[in-house]
Amino acid sequence: MAAPLIQLQNIHLTFGGAPLLAGAELIVSEGDRLCLVGRNGSGKSTLLKIAAGLVDVDRGTRAAAPSATIRYLPQEPDLSGFATTLAFVEAGLTPGDDPYRARYLLESLSLTGEEGTERLSGGEARRAALARVLAPSPDILLLDEPTNHLDLPAIEWLESELNSLRSAMVLISHDRRFLERLSRATVWLDRGVTRRLEQGFGAFELWRDTVLEQEELEQHKLDRRIVMEEHWVRYGVTARRKRNQGRLARLGDMRQQRREHRRATANVRMAASEGETSGTCVVEAKGIAKAYGELSVVSDFSIRIMRGDRVGIVGPNGAGKTTLINLLTGGMAPDSGEIKLGANLQMHLLDQRRETLDPQTTVKDFLTGGHSDTLSVNGVVRHFASYMKDFLFTPDQARTPVRVLSGGERGRLVLAKALAAPSNFLVLDEPTNDLDLETLDLLQEVLADYPGTVILVSHDRDFLDRVATSVLMAEGNGRFVEYAGGYSDMVAQRGEGVGAKPRETVRAAKSGAAPRAAGAATERRKLTFKDKHALETLPVCIEALHEEIKSLRVRLAEDGFYARDAKGFAATAAKLSTAETELAASEERWLELEMLREEIEG
C-alpha cells in the first residue's frame, strides 16, 4: 500500500455548542480518488480545510508528506490582490512548472487571462481558481464543490482534465454524475465521524442505507434491553437488591448510551402545494425570436408544452437559457413570433440568484411575509416553526438573518417558500445549487409527483435524467433543439455531449458584440496560446524523433540481433513504428500551424 500523503487522525473540533467533528479521520495516498460526502453542515468543508492545513483542531493530528505539493480549491475563491486572472493563476505556479499551462487552462475555461479580478462573476472567479489549482499538476488536489457556477461544457471539460491527471484527489460535490465518474473510494462524514468505502460514489448510497438500517436495528436492541432491565428493577426480588447494584449501574450506562447516541440527521420533508388544474396546453410558442443588437439569443423557436410536461433547458452560460425562460413564461416579449400561455395558470418562479432573498430579513419573516406566525401550505394553515422543521431549520434560527445562512440553507429556504405557494406551473432556474444529495433526492421525488408542469434550467445531468421528460439544447446562435427524454437520452440522440463549441457566443454576449460571422475566417482562425506553444516546441520534438528513429534503425540493422534476442528485436521494431507514427503526426501538426500562422500574418 502506498505511503499516505495526508493523514488526519482522531480529529475533534467544536464550533459553538455541539461538536462538529468527533474523531473524524482521513487518509489520502498516491493515486487516491476520494469523494467526501455528507449532509450540508456535517463538516465536510471544514475537514477539507484541516487537510489543507488551514484550520487548527481542538484535538487530533494532521501529518502531510514534506515533499507533497497540495492545492486546495475553496467554495468562495479570493482573488483580491491580483490585477488579472492570469496574474492570479501564475502566482500558484512553482519554479519547475510549465508557464504555458496557466494560459492553456484559462483558455480552456473560456477566460483570456486579461479579466480584471474586481469585476468577475461567481462563475468566472471559480474558473480562475480551478486554473490556479490545476496549473502545477500537484500531488494532492482538495476540491470543494468544483462544479459550482460552471456550465455543462465546463463540467465535462473538467471531468476530462481531472481524469488525465496523476494527482491524488479529494472531491466534495453535489453533482452525482461528476462523483460517479471520478471517485474510486468514498469517505462518509456523518455525525462527526468518518466511514470509508473502498468503492466509488456509485456504490455509496446502497452502502449508506445498509449502515443506517443496521444502526437502527442495534438501537432497537438497546431499547429492548433497557425495557427488560427496567422490568427487573420494578419487579425483581427485593432481597437481591444489594447484590445487584451492578445491574442497576449497567442500566444507567445503557440509558446514558441512548441519550448520547447521535441519531442520523432527519430528512427534509417537502411537498409542492397544488394549485388548480391548468389548461391542457400550458405554453405554445410559434417562431419566436429575441436579439440584442446583432446578437441572436433565441432564433425561430417553436414548442408546445402540455400539462404535466417536465422540460429541461441545457447549454453553456450565456447561450440564452434564462432569456428563453422569460419568453416562455411571459416575462419578456419576443421581437417576432407569438407566445400563448394556457388558461388558469398559477406560476411560481425560483430564480438562480435567489433574488427574492433580502439579506436583512429573518427566516420567519421570509416564510410568513412578516405578518403573522402562520402560513398556508397546500390549503392547510401551519405554524411557521413546524414548517421550518420540515426543511431542517431549528427553532432558534427563526430570527436568524438570511445573510448568515449557508448556501445550502438559503437554497432550502427558497424552496420552502416556493413549495408553500399553490401552483400548477413551476419554473426552476438552477434549483439544485448548494443542495446536498439527500435534499436533491427529495426534490426529485416532489417533482416526479407534482401534477403540474415544470420548466427547469440545470447543469446537473443526473437530476435532468431523473426529472425531465424532454430537454431543450442550446445549439448556438440562438438555436434551441428539443430532444425526448433526459440528458443521457439527449446525448444519445445528438451523438455527443454539450461540448464547448459555443464559447464565442458566451464572450459576444458579455461584450454586447455580434457573434462572429461564419465567413470571417481571419477573426475566427487565430493562433491560441496552445498553438503558439506547439509551434515553438514541435521542431525540437521532431528533431528528437528523427534522432530516435535513426538510432533504432541502426540497432535493428545489427548483425545477429534477431538471433540473439528475438523479444528485444520485436520490442525495438515496435518502438520504431511508434516513433515513426509520432513523427508523421508531429510534422503534419507543425505544417498545419505554420500555414495558419502565415495566413494570419499575411
pLDDT tens track for 333-377: 999 999 998 888 888 787 655 556 777 888 888 888 777 788 777
Q: Which of 26-30, 127-131, 308-312, 315-319 has the lowest mean pLDDT?
A: 315-319
pLDDT > 90 fraction of the chain, expressed in percent and rounded: 26
pLDDT number for residue 128? 94
Q: What is the pLDDT of residues 384-402, one digit of tens each?
A: 888 888 777 778 788 888 8
- The rounded distance, in Å, linking the Cα atoms of 358 and 366 is 8
pLDDT number for residue 236? 54
Q: What is the mean pLDDT of residues 483-496?
A: 84
pLDDT number for residue 60? 94
Q: Which of 153-157, 179-183, 240-244 has the lowest mean pLDDT?
A: 240-244
Average pLDDT score over the chain: 80
Span 281-511: which CATH code? 3.40.50.300
Count other C-beta atoms under 10 Å from residue 474's C-beta: 25
- The rounded distance, in Å, linking the Cα atoms of 587 and 582 is 9
**Residue 274 DSSP class:** B
pTM greater than 0.75: no
Q: Where are the alpha helices (DSSP H) in 450-565?
A: 461-467, 487-494, 503-511, 521-524, 529-556, 561-564
User: Is the model's pLDDT at 601 over the cut of 50?
Assistant: yes
Q: How confident is the model at residue 73 (pLDDT cuts 50, 70, 90)?
A: very high
Q: What is the mean pLDDT of residues 53-66?
A: 93
Q: How confident is the model at residue 505 (pLDDT cuts 50, 70, 90)?
A: very low
Is CATH 1.10.287.380 the classification given to domain 525-601?
A: yes
pLDDT number for residue 247? 54
Count other C-beta atoms under 10 Å from residue 275's C-beta: 20
Q: How confident is the model at residue 524 (pLDDT cuts 50, 70, 90)?
A: very low
pLDDT number for residue 135? 92
Q: What is the mean pLDDT of residues 226-244?
A: 54
Task: Indicate the SS3 state at residue 15.
Answer: coil
H or E segment and range at residue 482:
strand 479-484
Spans of all domains in the chain: 4-206, 281-511, 525-601
* Spatial contact of 486 and 468, defined as CB atoms under 8 Å apart: yes
- The rounded distance, in Å, linking the Cα atoms of 158 and 163 is 8
Q: How confident is the model at residue 9 (pLDDT cuts 50, 70, 90)?
A: very high
Q: What is the mean pLDDT of residues 203-223?
A: 82
User: End-to-end alpha-carbon separation of the chain, Å?
Assistant: 58
CA-to-CA dists, residue 511 to 61, 114, 484, 506, angstroms:
50, 14, 34, 9
- The rounded distance, in Å, linking the Cα atoms of 74 and 70 is 13
pLDDT number for residue 500? 38
* Spatial contact of 128 and 79, defined as CB atoms under 8 Å apart: yes
Cell readout for 307 is 400539462
pLDDT number for residue 173? 92
Hey, which CATH number is domain 4-206, 3.40.630.30, 1.10.1040.10, 3.40.50.300, 3.40.50.1970? 3.40.50.300
- The rounded distance, in Å, linking the Cα atoms of 384 and 67 is 54
pLDDT number for residue 249? 61
More confident residue, 470 or 588: 470
- The rounded distance, in Å, linking the Cα atoms of 251 and 154 is 58
User: Is the model's pLDDT at 514 over the cut of 70?
Assistant: no
**Residue 275 DSSP class:** -
**Residue 261 DSSP class:** -
- The rounded distance, in Å, linking the Cα atoms of 315 and 152 is 7
Q: What is the mean pLDDT of residues 144-162?
A: 89
Q: What is the pLDDT of residues 400-459, one digit of tens each?
A: 888 877 767 777 787 787 777 788 888 888 887 777 777 787 788 778 778 889 999 888
Residue partners of 10: CB distance under 8 A and separation at least 6: 23, 25, 59, 60, 61
The 3-class secondary structure across 107-126, one letter per residue, is: HHCCCCCCCEHHHCCHHHHH
Q: How confident is the model at residue 504 (pLDDT cuts 50, 70, 90)?
A: very low
pLDDT > 70 fraction of the chain, expressed in percent and rounded: 82
Going by their DSSP bridges, the two strands 470-476 and 310-314 should be labelled as: parallel
Query: Which residues face 61 on adjacent strands?
Result: 9
More confident residue, 51 or 76: 51
Residue partners of 248: CB distance under 8 A and separation at least 6: 233
Give the up-direction half-sphere exposure of residue 449: CA atoms within 13 A in the CB hemisphere. 12
* Spatial contact of 280 and 452, defined as CB atoms under 8 Å apart: no
Q: Could you tell me the maximum CA-CA distance found in the chain, to the nearest angstrom?
A: 110
* Spatial contact of 64 and 215, defined as CB atoms under 8 Å apart: no
Q: What is the mean pLDDT of residues 148-159?
A: 88
* Spatial contact of 309 and 470, defined as CB atoms under 8 Å apart: yes
- The rounded distance, in Å, linking the Cα atoms of 584 and 363 is 66
CA-to-CA dists, residue 356 to 76, 359, 426, angstroms:
22, 10, 16
Residue partners of 448: CB distance under 8 A and separation at least 6: 466, 467
pLDDT number for residue 518? 38
Tell me, yes or no, if the two domains 281-511 and 525-601 fold the same way. Answer: no
For cell 407566445, name the residue. 339
Query: Which residues face 311 on adjacent strands?
Result: 455, 470
Length of the chain: 602
pLDDT number for residue 11? 94
Q: Where are the alpha helices (DSSP H) in 300-459?
A: 321-328, 363-368, 384-390, 407-420, 437-449
Cell readout for 225 is 434491553
Closest C-alpha among 304, 315, 347 to residue 494: 315
- Helix, strand, coil percent content, the chain, rounded in steps of 5: 45, 20, 35
pLDDT number for residue 522? 36
Plot region of 276 (φ>0 → left; ψ -120 to 50 → alpha; else → beta): beta
